[in-house]
Structure 1
């Protein structure tokens, strides 16, 4: 069996995706209507409920091939519009209903798992003001090592790389998903990388100046 397969025979991204859905349900258990309408700062002005609507819409679109315009703003706006007013419990149920279908294609659609990871982190920061569990973001960070290792960075536990700059894994994961502003990214990676390299780190484009 491949090392990328878990004991149940599911690929690593399908397994990670299931763990993120578990964590998402735990995070949102018992959420009240007022909190659902609170803004999630790391997103494009979305509320908590809209972030979950986007996750449900993305899962539905990926598993049905409705990907025209992805991942642009019109694509995500349609997802939110189609789920406007849908209760949180139904959005979470929709996510679960597509889990099996996503698991079948997950190894070729890792972006769906990545999307769930980053938005769970967004919600965790917004709702409980602490970091996402490392077990959820670290697999993505390791998979994307080619994007940040060229900046002479290493994770604290990387063996044999003592000459490279050790960085906080969580902050690096947030920079990777363009969740840190330019000054925060520069403080993280140090003076070595060029401005162009700093701008090229984020999967969703250059960091903003704030």
Structure 2
């Protein structure tokens, strides 16, 4: 999987760079609904800073708020074009790093690409191999979080994922698009949205498992 995941990182990286340059500096001042403490420029600063810190060997296991905010503050006031230039300059070394160390950075760029698209109201890239790969990673974390509960099934129509056991064992079934389920697994869907997807059973015991990357939003994310 690693070579394909590296290619998907490069594609997502290129998409975000193009998205930012097309949007222009004024749009980069929009608040990001999924990370409301940050503007689009702040979010991009984090994405760039994560790459720089990974290459420098400065990557805590928990990707804590102090670490991510330092990436933003270090780039405060820089135009979006300069941030894109820095990120593009880091890309070849990041690709080499991923060949040796794995493709953890894929998750950050894929998740935050959608956060950025929501802020800019420019949807896209909702059905890519990279998104599929990150959803599978998040499913692993989610399955571990619900392992002691009765089986639950996520049903996207063309694809289905059961927490454990078989599809027929599932006491609770949630039906939504593959993209919505991806966003739910990354704490980007509200409790009310999760409840609205219930086709069978009760989602209440599973709600905490959907907040692995942070609290669930209070309101649906605009632009999504």
TM-score, reference length from structure 1: 0.82
Alignment map for 1:1-210 (pairs within 5 Å): 4=1, 11-68=3-60, 70-106=62-98, 108-135=101-128, 136-146=130-140, 147=142, 151-158=152-159, 166-192=175-201, 194-210=203-219
The CA RMSD over aligned residues, in Å, is 2.8
**How far apart are 1:68 and its partner, in Å?**
4.2
SS of match in other structure, 1:62: helix
SS of match in other structure, 1:152: strand
CA contact (8 A) 2:20 2:28 kept: no
Instruction: Name the CA distance, whole Å, in 1 between partners of 2:124 and 2:202.
Output: 26
* Gap runs ≥5 in structure 2: 161-165, 220-224
* Gap runs ≥5 in structure 1: 6-10
Distance of aligned partners of 1:109 and 1:206 in 2 relative to their CA distance in 1, 3 Å threshold? farther
**How far apart are 1:166 and its partner, in Å?**
4.4
TM-score, reference length from structure 2: 0.77
Instruction: Name the CA distance, whole Å, in 2 between partners of 1:117 and 1:68.
Output: 20
CA contact (8 A) 1:153 1:166 kept: yes
